[in-house]
Chain A
């Protein structure tokens, strides 16, 4: 119940911030993807079945917010959330910077999957934006992971 409550709260806050912040936080055109940060960071902290649920609802919310194809967002977020969760089963104690790195790689993976499902008009521009977003997401994921880890630590065991 606690796990469900925390995940729902984090996704709701991310959805609110996703609408209000990214354009205001843009640095040299780079914008964070806060919903993806939430999905991947939670994926690092919750069991694999729960990470699929987080990816599903994260993708559903993000797709609904922008009015884009829901299936594309749901599929990419579910897959990357699940992979993030399975990665942490490698018995490594994740530090916040390491979590940031995982979120950056997860962002790249999610957007590459998205690229195949919804081919962008300009491949170069899309890759450039994705790399910038991945770096930005990594920076945001570090404090988020540090805050959520003590709360969700017991949920994995």
Chain B
């Protein structure tokens, strides 16, 4: 038993070393390689089965939703034309004053194949072969899920926004926008720390990613303001935020490159 404990400590040390280097350790790679092909297929089958039965029972509401989404898609197309036109003007103006053009970012789809709420970590079925590297943002339609911590050829692991280890640049829109650092404090609770401000933040205000990250694009929703705590440290205001993404019910995500 002592030998096995020693072995596990050695494995843990190897794991930490690989994690620091942004890689998944050999044990993790092996275990994922022999289990995840089957578990991913099983998950897909279960999801397909669930979708089939829900479509049978909810056909009428699906038809209504479909009509509503079609009308939304039409409005979105008009909105997109405006956005394209503004982006084109912005690009032209940046070129005029000699600034480099803003590069578009590619979204890589991935499935969550493992989720550990204790360590606030998910494993994705996409890795360096798909261009995923440490530091990239993991998102869904509802907002930011987390940030890639390490990856190998076909797998990657991401820390969730709810992780106390992860520090993210964030901001609350306004004039001027208020920027600060966001960190996790539990599965459904984040803390946004800013330099003390006279502004009073209202419940429901949206907190998004800041403009100043190299890897994480700006304006991705992270959470909504729950309340503002009195300053406990001189000069720091703490705002309690609820994340917009519920990872427990999530299967598909995108990694932004």
Contact B116 A68 (CB under 8 A): yes
Q: Which of A12, A15, A71, A78 is in CB contact (< 8 Å) with B12?
A: A71
Contact B4 A56 (CB under 8 A): yes
Q: Classify the interface of chain B: helix, strand, loop or mixed.
A: helix
List of B residues within 8 angstroms of A44 by Cβ: none
List of A residues within 8 angstroms of B1 by Cβ: 52, 78, 82
A24→B48 CA distance, assembly (Å) = 12
List of A residues within 8 angstroms of B186 by Cβ: 121-122, 125
Contact A121 B119 (CB under 8 A): no
Binary contact track A49-87/B, C-beta < 8 Å → 1, others 0: 000110010011100111111111011001000100000
List of B residues within 8 angstroms of A67 by Cβ: 19, 24, 28, 114, 116, 119, 121, 123, 149-150, 157
Contact B24 A71 (CB under 8 A): no
Contact B35 A68 (CB under 8 A): no
Contact A121 B35 (CB under 8 A): no
List of A residues within 8 angstroms of B185 by Cβ: 121
A52→B114 CA distance, assembly (Å) = 25
Binary contact track B1-33/A, C-beta < 8 Å → 1, others 0: 100110111011001000100001101101110
Taking the closest CB of chain B, its distance from the CB of A99, in whole angstroms, is 24
Nearest-neighbor residue (CB-CB) of B121 within chain A: A67
Taking the closest CB of chain A, its distance from the CB of B152, in whole angstroms, is 11
Interface residues of B in 27-83 (CB under 8 A from A): 27-28, 30-32, 34-36, 38-40, 42-43, 46, 50
Q: Classify the interface of chain A: helix, strand, loop or mixed.
A: helix
Contact B123 A12 (CB under 8 A): no
Q: Which of B50, B123, B248 is in CB contact (< 8 Å) with A65?
A: B123
Q: How many of B's residues come within 8 Å of A, CB to CB? A: 46
Q: Which of A64, A78, A114, A121 is in CB contact (< 8 Å) with B27?
A: A64
Contact B43 A20 (CB under 8 A): yes
Taking the closest CB of chain B, its distance from the CB of A14, in whole angstroms, is 9
Contact A66 B31 (CB under 8 A): no
> Is A120 at the interface (CB under 8 A from chain B)?
yes
Contact A19 B5 (CB under 8 A): no
Contact B4 A74 (CB under 8 A): yes
Q: Which of B31, B38, B119, B184 is in CB contact (< 8 Å) with A64?
A: B31
List of B residues within 8 angstroms of A78 by Cβ: 1, 4-5
Taking the closest CB of chain A, its distance from the CB of B230, in whole angstroms, is 21
List of A residues within 8 angstroms of B5 by Cβ: 71, 74-75, 78
Nearest-neighbor residue (CB-CB) of B39 within chain A: A19
List of B residues within 8 angstroms of A75 by Cβ: 5, 8
Contact B8 A60 (CB under 8 A): yes
Contact A61 B31 (CB under 8 A): yes
Contact A60 B27 (CB under 8 A): yes
Taking the closest CB of chain A, its distance from the CB of B5, in whole angstroms, is 6
A70→B35 CA distance, assembly (Å) = 17
Using A66-B118, A71-B8, A129-B117 as known contacts, list a sample of 13 further A-B pairs with CB atoms less than 8 Å apart, ordered by residue number in A: A15-B35, A19-B43, A24-B50, A56-B7, A65-B28, A65-B114, A66-B115, A66-B121, A67-B149, A70-B27, A71-B5, A114-B118, A125-B187
11 pairs across A/B with beta carbons < 8 Å? A21-B46, A24-B43, A56-B8, A65-B35, A65-B114, A66-B121, A67-B116, A67-B149, A69-B15, A118-B119, A121-B184
Closest 9 CB pairs of A and B: A66-B116, A74-B8, A19-B39, A64-B31, A71-B12, A64-B28, A20-B42, A20-B39, A67-B157
B residues with CB within 8 A of A = 1, 4-5, 7-9, 11-12, 15, 19, 24-25, 27-28, 30-32, 34-36, 38-40, 42-43, 46, 50, 113-119, 121, 123, 149-150, 157, 164, 184-187, 248-249
